[in-house]
Amino acid sequence: MNMESSPVLAPPAPKSLEATGLPTVVMRDILLKTMFRRNLDMVTDMARVLALPVQVTQELVDLCRTQKLVEATGTLHANSGGEMGFQLSDGGKARALDALSQSEYYGAMPVPLEDYGQQVKRQSIRNIQITRDQLTGSMGHLILPDDLLDQLGPAVGAGRSILMYGPPGNGKSSISNGIRDALGDNIFVPRAIFYSGQVITVYDPIVHTVAEELEDDPTQLRRISNRYDRRYVLCERPTVITGGELSLDMLDLVYNATSRTYQAPLQLKSTGGVFIVDDLGRQKEPPQALINRWIVPLEESKDILALQSGEKFEVPFDTLVIFSTNFHPNEIFDKAALRRIFFKIKIDGPSQQDYLKIFAMVAKKRKMPLDEGALVHLIKNKYPTINNIYANYQPIFLIDQMIAICEFEGIPYQMTPELIDRAWANMFVKDEVIVK
């Protein structure tokens, strides 16, 4: 996807060192550390790694030359347009080692936290207009009641918190993923941000999907780097999905004591996108404690983080948070917590009609021929034993069971009352008294 296809206002490329918003000493030390660690000697290569325009990188190199930290090699690189080479002086190497002892961070220049806050506002998830067609299109593979989309649409469009609750196996996770897919556009994610002398890495290739790759080409670099600030990466709106493994310390800054570097917590990486807390109630911390941690972010659109020194600071919180649980909200939250969750949507099991639609859709996908007699047996004889309670996962489970049986028996895929019985027997565990 091209940058021009993104409706988000791009951060302009800095035209000077001053325009980066960073202290000169910080930029100087990152350049020296990067030259030392990456063994760089050409300005175009430095510009690519530092994520700065070539002319700004040249300005930084010239500054280091006046301080006798960098010197020209006197070598012109013929394969790079006759570009002059540069290297660290003895004083530059000493300064690079000293800077590395304070922080191992090198590479892309960070974005000042204040500047990043302005970019977050320009690309806020609350600015998105979600239509019924978009939401329906992203969930076309799901059989959902019409009134559910009536509830989901305004919730997603508001970009506020959503709690989905109801019995297990009815697609809460699939609906969460469908909401994510409906967003569809791109935002600019900073490679790192800068606050109070500290660099905090934000861009994470595990979380963020790049929407535009930059070719490793000096000519391409000069052309693109003037279009927007390369300290940002153009990405699809991010999605962070957590489940039972989520703990409160995962929402704090991650500090590496060995490299003396910081990494952004999960919710900061998801800024401008979606943060899904699946299986709420299965974490080691009680749901009430997790919600209490989110109260300030959800109400004030800002989060509070702390450095190793204990200094606390505010960062933007611009995230659609989706909580999903199999528990009834009144069982796991107090009224104050529920009040702070903007939308509460119950996800029930399907009606018999929708259940049969799901069954037919799955059977077609799995190439399992439908058999009316087997379906009548399932509906009339099996479901009454569980009070006719249908769940979205059941057609997939039953059909996959029948497929496994057919493959084991060496017979063509088929649906019979007998196979329905064998599949059904594996869907539930009977209560038994074990005699020791």
Could you read off the pLDDT of 225-259 as tens digits, one per residue?
457 999 999 999 998 989 889 999 999 999 999 99
- Report the percentage of the chain scoring pLDDT > 70: 91
Report how far residue 392's alpha carbon sits from residue 357's, in angstroms, rounded to the nearest whole number: 10
Mean pLDDT of the chain: 88
Out of 66-75, 191-200, 375-384, least confident range: 66-75
pLDDT score at 212:
64
Range ranked top by mean pLDDT from 178-182, 350-354, 429-433: 350-354
- Tens-digit pLDDT profile for residues 35-64: 999 999 999 999 999 999 999 999 999 999
Residue 217's pLDDT is 46
pLDDT at 173 over 60: yes
pLDDT on residue 152:
86
Average pLDDT over residues 336-348: 86
pLDDT digit string (tens) for 77-110? 555 566 889 999 999 999 999 999 999 999 999 9
pLDDT (0 to 100) of residue 79: 59
Which band of pLDDT confidence, cut at 50, 70 and 90, is reported for residue 150?
confident
Residue 155 has pLDDT above 60, yes or no: yes
Residue 102 Cα to chain centre, angstroms: 30
